[in-house]
Structure 1
């Protein structure tokens, strides 16, 4: 496994100890990078010569302090990026980890959302999906298996149901949208390291998808407000559903579907 290439997509809502405080604070940024570093240590423990690329995937994608990241890893920062949270994962990538993730709206998960609060639901061929599913589907389209995910207990249930081949570490148990019982960060990071090492030593070979993918893909984005759909329908090829808040697009392939969803998240104003 000397030439193993591992991609880590890192969000913040599901990291250990963090409860939605200002993510620009040193404590929040350190919480995110410490979970990521635990995963990197596990990778290098099992495959000392592996390469690791970390994609900072929260907010403006500048949350991870570069000087605090493990020195053996490279860091992708900033945005917007064409493929968002999984930009940087290529045909040369062997394995993907999703660290600090959260579930989609309506699951009861801690800080549940899909990319932005303007979106109430995203559906692929009629199935509701969140960031975890969308990213895993795109990775699978590139033949990259998701080996490991971390986040809250509700996302853990979703991963177990939709992608049972992926290992999971629970960082916190939600008690409401913005409250949770947090495990001690040291205990979480030790489990992250151990799990990352185990998955790296015996990685999944089948890039399974968490939801069935039948082309073409019908992509539905349901906004929280009809005014957002008004703006989205100004784009060519976008139609409004019978529901005034939902727009629909037929995508010929997974990358196009993913980019369409990413574009719809940028509708955040009533300005036409």
Structure 2
């Protein structure tokens, strides 16, 4: 048996480059939902090609009800809606054998990366894990590693894939576009991207027994630089949070799952004081 978890974001999907495409309510958003669903289906098909017996897809972008359920591969289950207490990793646990991250983007502040941010473009300028800038892919992979489950595949732009390859040993990547700027990309055709993702997912699931979970040693120190001092005030309401600078909050623990939940609490608490136009 092979149980596969797919977390899918939108900013790293082929054909998507501009902020207007990923915001609900714009004229461009419906087409982006179609593109996202297409890559979800490619990953699902590849997972089953590689030997999956079950696949769960977690809609991991924005308000997290973007995928089109009736157009999703019927073999997959879908986690949809918000707020999710585990966000991009909602529904994840030790029963999974491998995780795939589709449509991911680079960390906040990455030059020439498409729609770069880390968990909240409105709130967060940078997240650091044990002193090093962290991406969503890395943070989510550490969370998966607490259950002993490896992340085997990341797809997205060239910057996101390069960051994943640097931080996650043995990871497969599928580059579907090259970032020329925050809102500019040279993208593969969506069909070509889906074919590449399907191959990558199949190869990853087929080789799941060779993969190793990403499990850095504790303690875990998570820090975030946020948009303004008022947002930092609200982030400080999360239990265990230290205010270590005017716009910087910190949390230290032996259990990464606690740090992960604290980071998510910061995003929910602080975002009310962050400018809406700042990002995704």
TM-score, normalised with respect to structure 1: 0.92
1:102 aligns with 2:105: yes
Please state how far the C-alpha of 1:200 moved relative to its aligned partner.
1.5
Larger deviation: 36-45 or 97-106? 36-45
> Structure 1 residues 39 and 250 mapped into 2: Cα distance closer, same or farther (>3 Å)?
same
Give the 3-state SS of the residue equivalent to 2:91 in structure 1. Answer: coil
> Structure 1 residues 235 and 263 mapped into 2: Cα distance closer, same or farther (>3 Å)?
closer
> Structure 1 residues 83 and 207 mapped into 2: Cα distance closer, same or farther (>3 Å)?
farther
1:111 aligns with 2:115: yes
Counterpart of 2:272 in structure 1 is 269
Counterpart of 1:88 in structure 2 is 91
Counterpart of 2:15 in structure 1 is 17
Which of 160, 183, 186 does residue 155 from structure 1 map onto? Answer: 160
Counterpart of 1:144 in structure 2 is 149
| C-alpha contact (below 8 Å) 1:147/1:204 kept by paired residues | no
Give the 3-state SS of the residue equivalent to 2:156 in structure 1. Answer: strand
- Between the aligned partners of 1:262 and 1:126, the Cα distance in structure 2 is 18
TM-score, normalised with respect to structure 2: 0.90
Larger deviation: 226-235 or 256-265? 226-235
Counterpart of 2:78 in structure 1 is 75
Give the 3-state SS of the residue equivalent to 1:52 in structure 2. Answer: strand
Give the 3-state SS of the residue equivalent to 1:262 in structure 2. Answer: helix
- Between the aligned partners of 1:233 and 1:164, the Cα distance in structure 2 is 34
- Between the aligned partners of 1:160 and 1:130, the Cα distance in structure 2 is 12
Alignment root-mean-square deviation, CA: 1.7
| C-alpha contact (below 8 Å) 2:46/2:201 kept by paired residues | yes
Give the 3-state SS of the residue equivalent to 1:269 in structure 2. Answer: helix
* Number of residue pairs aligned between Structure 1 and Structure 2: 265
- Between the aligned partners of 2:142 and 2:260, the Cα distance in structure 1 is 9
Q: Which runs of 5+ in 1 are unaligned?
A: none
> Structure 1 residues 46 and 213 mapped into 2: Cα distance closer, same or farther (>3 Å)?
closer
Give the 3-state SS of the residue equivalent to 2:61 in structure 1. Answer: coil
Q: Deviations over 1:133-187 (max 9, x none)?
A: 1101000111111111100000111122111411111111011111111111111
Counterpart of 2:179 in structure 1 is 174
1:46 aligns with 2:44: no
Larger deviation: 10-19 or 232-241? 232-241
Please state how far the C-alpha of 1:204 moved relative to its aligned partner.
4.8
Counterpart of 2:130 in structure 1 is 125
Give the 3-state SS of the residue equivalent to 1:268 in structure 2. Answer: helix
Counterpart of 1:185 in structure 2 is 190
Q: Which runs of 5+ in 2 are unaligned?
A: 275-280
1:35 aligns with 2:39: yes
Give the 3-state SS of the residue equivalent to 2:21 in structure 1. Answer: coil
- Between the aligned partners of 2:184 and 2:273, the Cα distance in structure 1 is 31
